[in-house]
Structure 1
């Protein structure tokens, strides 16, 4: 098993609001589509990477206390910039950039839908 995770879904009650939030905060193009009868918006990925989507579905409920996923922001600079954009886009930062030692840096947010989401960036090579 190369990765423990290969797909994730972030539940949304207001699909368009959630897509706008993640597009703005992460500064990425998130593609909307319908999959298996549900609106989904796909985070950028390729066949070799972990993928995920924002999903509006009766089977999913946003939660601040359930499973916590960490989105890979790539660089510390990207992590800092994303955290700076959270509150102006309707979310809340409840753990600012925090050094976690060798694994790098994390920040925790509450998105517009009520989901607790982590951001992660590896430490830069020194």
Structure 2
């Protein structure tokens, strides 16, 4: 069976700071909602679908050493990566070309201590 990511949750220590960080680096607005007692800043794709979120509370603990989530940095990785430090994050691995023209990746640590990765064709 093949699979794909259908939802993700990025843990936060300071929810407002985390939402602001991701809104800044992706130059967008997250849809903030409370799902039960869990506040979420929801990422919406181009078709208007919820795809994942920044979340706070419960079992969620930021971590730099867990699974690495790759977020789409289309139309270009440089613009998103260029806003990471100014937004309070830290670049761990700068832009790196993938083989066979599969695009580029980079890794950063967000304001909450999560290692997150980026991927884009350019």
Structure 2-normalised TM-score? Answer: 0.90
Determine helix, strand or coil for the equivalent of 1:23: helix
1:8-23 map, 5 Å = 8-23=8-23
Tell me, yes or no, if structure 1 residue 93 matches structure 2 residue 112. no
1:36: how far off?
2.2
**Could you give the per-residue CA deviations for residues 32-57 of structure 1, whole angstroms, max 9, x where no partner exists?**
11012210000122668671000002
* Stretches of structure 1 lacking an aligned partner (at least 5 in a row): none
Determine helix, strand or coil for the equivalent of 1:80: helix
Structure-2 residue corresponding to 1:117: 116
Determine helix, strand or coil for the equivalent of 2:44: coil
* Stretches of structure 2 lacking an aligned partner (at least 5 in a row): none
CA contact (8 A) 1:12 1:55 kept: yes
CA contact (8 A) 1:6 1:49 kept: no
Structure-1 residue corresponding to 2:102: 103
Structure-1 residue corresponding to 2:54: 54
Structure 1-normalised TM-score? Answer: 0.88
How large is the Cα RMSD of the aligned pairs?
A: 2.0
Determine helix, strand or coil for the equivalent of 1:81: helix
Determine helix, strand or coil for the equivalent of 2:94: strand
Determine helix, strand or coil for the equivalent of 1:89: coil
Q: Label 1:51 to 1:121 Cα distance change in 2 as closer, same or farther (>3 A).
A: same
